[in-house]
Amino acid sequence: MTISETARPEASAARVRPPRADGRSNGQWKIDGTAPLNGNEEWKQADGGLAVRERIETTYAAGGFASIDPTDLHGRFRWWGLYTQRKPGIDGGKTASLEPEELEDEYFMLRVRIDGGQLTTEQLRVIAGISTEFGRGTADLTDRQNIQLHWIRVEDVPEIWRRLEAVGLGTTEACGDVPRVVLGSPVAGIAADELIDPTPQIEEITSRFIGDESLANLPRKFKSAITGHPSQDVVHEINDVAFVALEHPELGIGYDLWVGGGLSTAPRLAERLGVFVAPERVADVWHGVAQIFRDYGFRRLRNKARLKFLLAEWGVERFREVLETEYLDAPLPDGPAAPTATTVGDHVGVHRQRDGRFYLGVTPVVGRVSGPTLAALADLLEAHGSTRLRTTPHQKLVILDVAEDRLDSLVAGLDVLGLQSRPSLFRRGAIACTGIEFCKLAIVETKQTATDAVALLEARLAELEPQLPHPISLHVNGCPNSCARIQTADIGLKGQLLPDGDGGQTPGFQVHLGGGLASRDRDEAGLGRTVRGLKVTADGLADYVERLVRRFAEERDAEADETFAEWAHRADEAVLR
């Protein structure tokens, strides 16, 4: 099956511009035409990523790993949430020098797509069963509200899909150059202080557009977020498109529109378009932004193919003009910015719902759980009268619909499972990517490194916690790509190999300090500071963070309620080492 004509609009005479002075095209379909300019664009047009499902079900599952076409394996499989995982025993020094087929094992990471983070205990139990039966018990909560499993064989994928889809889950477009999972407020529809429940908007977007061939060949991935909660709990500043609830003084409750955010090796925070989006227009506006990305996004170089690069070239005024004149049936009204967040957006702890019951935000260490843990969690919730829970953009879980007289028993049971509703400030603020354990791009180990560091910090700094004004976010990433959002953490760590003093190398990190997204403690997002030459070994991570936090506690301006980020940006470099 070739890519549909609706997915590759030809450049019209009215929109074609004169050739660029350097003679080079950016591969923008509505300007340069749709002729593919690199290998990725060639295979995407030759046969769309969604088409590979039939081959997985009818050919590859029967023939096994050796039967998989290389282009399908390294490209189209992603459209169905499948990446080959890293072969055990290959050190980080080989990541850049080996070809993908030399790094990869004959097993897959499978990403279960969970739009809005909304799960039932029935769905959770199915994921737990798949993890236990097919994934060696692995399960990780991601900071995109998905759940990732490992050690998956292609032979088992059709049965896994059957089980997921029987309970309303799936892996469609969980990866690839497509609209990824739509982040949604974990307390949508239940929080007492919510402005609007965004669930209908999320459901309209996913039902209309996920799996739509016309959006199945974007320049690169397309990330979305929607929240109706005043905590602004969906990291909207680092998404390609985001809708943040607010109350317009004349038009009522709707959304503030943000576009063009993303991190990786060239971080850029999203910008407001200055418009007000009524709830009934959200899906069409989302579709318009996605189509702009499809039609005008840069395709010649993949490292320039995110929407943030187009926004940087165009600016918000032109972006809004194109959106309104080419992709919407009417202009959008001007709108004010959403107010500063008033509550904490990770939802950890016990909170009253609008119906009088309670929800609990709980914290596994850096998102690592397991199939048996998830099965036990489903049993525990049902025993306490709850059948609903949510994943979050912070590698946490939110348990819904708990009666007040069952809270203490549930909290105790969750603690046994390693899911704390009253975590230390360091456990609460820790995030880690997959790392070298499974990821072919990683250079260092992350999950265990972060877990060990958190345990040491909890023991060493317990007496200091009451003096700290907020959780200290510690984000650990195994490579430069920032899946763990290192540039927007109090302490962000980018994995790299460091000299060990004996002519060899040891795992370590470059340090970013003082980043953060808009929150109750911060009026607006900002990227972290790097100090020239500041690097720390993995073995020395806890020592470094302890030293840094103690200095912060000693030197912060308590009268001004100074945050870690504010201190880190004003402190002398010598103090930060």
Please list the pLDDT of the chain residue by residue as tens digits (577 residues). 333 333 444 433 334 444 455 557 999 999 999 999 999 999 999 999 999 999 999 999 999 999 999 999 999 999 999 999 999 999 999 999 999 889 999 999 999 999 999 999 999 999 999 999 999 999 999 999 999 999 999 999 999 999 999 999 999 999 999 999 999 999 999 999 999 999 999 999 999 999 999 999 999 999 999 999 999 999 999 999 999 999 999 999 999 999 999 999 999 999 999 999 999 999 999 999 999 999 999 999 999 999 999 999 999 999 999 999 999 999 999 999 999 998 999 999 999 999 999 999 999 999 999 999 999 999 999 999 999 999 999 999 999 999 999 999 999 999 999 999 999 999 999 999 999 999 999 999 999 999 999 999 999 999 999 999 999 999 999 999 999 999 999 999 999 999 999 999 999 999 999 999 988 888 889 999 999 999 999 999 999 999 999 999 999 999 999 999 999 999 999 999 9
CATH 3.30.413.10 in the chain, residue ranges = 194-342, 428-575
d(CA 532, CA 68): 46
d(CA 371, CA 149): 9
Task: Give the per-residue pLDDT at 539.
Answer: 97
- For 428-575, CATH number out of 3.40.718.10, 3.40.140.10, 3.30.413.10, 3.40.50.450 equals 3.30.413.10
Which residue has tokens 């990403």? 111
Where does 297-424 have alpha helices with state H?
307-314, 316-322, 371-383, 407-416
Task: Give the per-residue pLDDT at 9.
Answer: 46
d(CA 527, CA 461): 26
Q: What is the pTM of this model?
A: 0.95
Continuous segment of H or E residues that includes residue 246: strand 241-248
CATH 3.90.480.10 in the chain, residue ranges = 349-423
Task: Give the per-residue pLDDT at 15.
Answer: 42
Q: DSSP code of 291?
A: H
Could you tell me which of 18, 157, 154 has the C-alpha nearest to residue 73?
154
Task: Give the per-residue pLDDT at 288.
Answer: 98
The beta-strand segments (E) located in 260-363 are: 271-277, 349-352, 358-362
Superfamily of domain 194-342: Sulfite Reductase Hemoprotein, domain 1 (3.30.413.10)
Could you tell me which of 282, 236, 244, 227 has the C-alpha nearest to residue 262?
236
Residues 6+ apart with CB under 8 A from 174: 80, 81, 111, 112, 113, 146, 180, 181
Task: Give the per-residue pLDDT at 255.
Answer: 98
Superfamily of domain 349-423: Sulfite Reductase Hemoprotein;Domain 2 (3.90.480.10)
Task: Give the per-residue pLDDT at 11.
Answer: 38
The beta-strand segments (E) located in 363-516 are: 368-370, 388-391, 397-402, 430-432, 474-477, 491-499, 505-513
Q: Which tokens belong to 457?
A: 């910090």
Q: Parallel, antiparallel, or unpaired for β 147-152 and 397-402?
A: unpaired
Q: DSSP code of 482?
A: -
Task: Give the per-residue pLDDT at 233.
Answer: 97
Residues 6+ apart with CB under 8 A from 164: 112, 126, 127, 130, 170, 171
**In Å, what is the CA distance from 462 to each residue of 165, 427, 453?**
45, 12, 14
Task: Give the per-residue pLDDT at 10.
Answer: 43
Task: Give the per-residue pLDDT at 259.
Answer: 98
Task: Give the per-residue pLDDT at 12.
Answer: 36
Continuous segment of H or E residues that includes residue 112: strand 104-112
d(CA 439, CA 445): 10
Task: Give the per-residue pLDDT at 14.
Answer: 34
Measured in residues, the chain has a length of 577
d(CA 312, CA 322): 15
In angstroms, how far is CA 502 from the centroid of its own chain? 38
Q: Parallel, antiparallel, or unpaired for β 222-227 and 241-248?
A: parallel
